[in-house]
């Protein structure tokens, strides 16, 4: 009788528990992926607003007002990037994607810092345009997109791997 009980317990620990824990881990990777996608969708909307505001700024005739408009817009989007970073910090990511998360956070931090710097150049349009041209802001914002895409891909792979039944690839 003892052998049957121990055998049943061993079966549960060996085969059932890994499947259940794998499903929970997959759900966590899937949830993290969904939360990341939602946070990034919000950032994309904010980026569209940023671009729209840039277009609105260009209609201003006064160079000082134009520089001030650009700087205000930069400061606002820098804040939005920091909000994206905060949203990511609140997501429970699987440990296997921690390097991907760190790369996104670094890219977001760099872009936010550049925009913050541009927002403080001053009201001289020539100085602002020179600072913007010499910055890597376009590349840095593209890095945020690229790194987020890589994170979402890693999360998708993690969810698929963890969802596979024990003993199967």
Say whether 153 sits in a helix, a strand or coil: helix
What is the C-alpha separation between 149 and 154, in angstroms, rounded? 9
* Closest C-alpha to 125, from 60, 77, 76, 75: 60
Helix axes 63-89, 98-118, angle to 10 degrees: 160
Cβ neighbours for 122, distance < 8 A, ≥ 6 positions apart: 67, 128
pLDDT at 168: 52
State the chain's mean pLDDT as an integer. 85
pLDDT tens string 27-72: 489 999 999 999 999 999 999 999 999 999 999 999 999 999 999 9
Class of domain 2-88+97-163 (CATH, top level)? mainly alpha
Domain ranges of the chain: 2-88+97-163
Residue 144 has pLDDT above 90, yes or no: yes
What is the C-alpha separation between 9 and 105, in angstroms, rounded? 44
* Closest C-alpha to 111, from 46, 60, 56, 32: 46
Q: Hey, what are 119's tokens?
A: 């927002």
Is pTM, for the whole model, over 0.75? yes
| Helices within 58-136 (DSSP H only) | 63-89, 98-118, 125-134
What is the C-alpha separation between 145 and 108, in angstroms, rounded? 9
pLDDT band at 12 (very low <50, low <70, confident <90, very high): very low
**Count of Cβ atoms closer than 10 Å to residue 41 Cβ:** 10
pLDDT-above-90 percentage for the chain:
74
pLDDT band at 162 (very low <50, low <70, confident <90, very high): confident
Sign of CA dihedral 110, 112, 117, 123: positive
pLDDT at 110: 98
pLDDT at 166: 56
Can you give the three-state secondary structure of 28-58, one letter per residue?
HHHHHHHHHHHHHHHHHHHHHHHHHHHHHHC
């Amino acid at each position: 009788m003892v052998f049957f009980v121990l055998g049943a317990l061993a079966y549960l620990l060996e085969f059932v528990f890994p499947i259940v824990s794998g499903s929970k881990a997959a759900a966590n990777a899937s949830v993290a992926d969904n939360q990341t996608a939602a946070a990034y969708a919000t950032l994309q909307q904010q980026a569209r607003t940023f671009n729209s505001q840039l277009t609105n700024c260009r209609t201003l005739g006064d160079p000082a007002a134009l520089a001030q408009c650009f700087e205000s817009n930069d400061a606002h989007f820098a804040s939005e990037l920091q909000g994206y970073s905060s949203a990511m910090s609140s997501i429970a990511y699987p440990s296997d994607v921690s390097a991907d998360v760190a790369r996104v956070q670094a890219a977001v931090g760099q872009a936010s810092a550049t925009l913050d710097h541009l927002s403080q150049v001053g009201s001289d349009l020539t100085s602002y345009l020179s600072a913007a041209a010499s910055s890597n802001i376009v590349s840095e914002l593209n890095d945020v997109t690229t790194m987020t895409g890589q994170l979402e891909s890693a999360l998708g792979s993690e969810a698929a791997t963890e969802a596979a039944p024990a003993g199967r690839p």
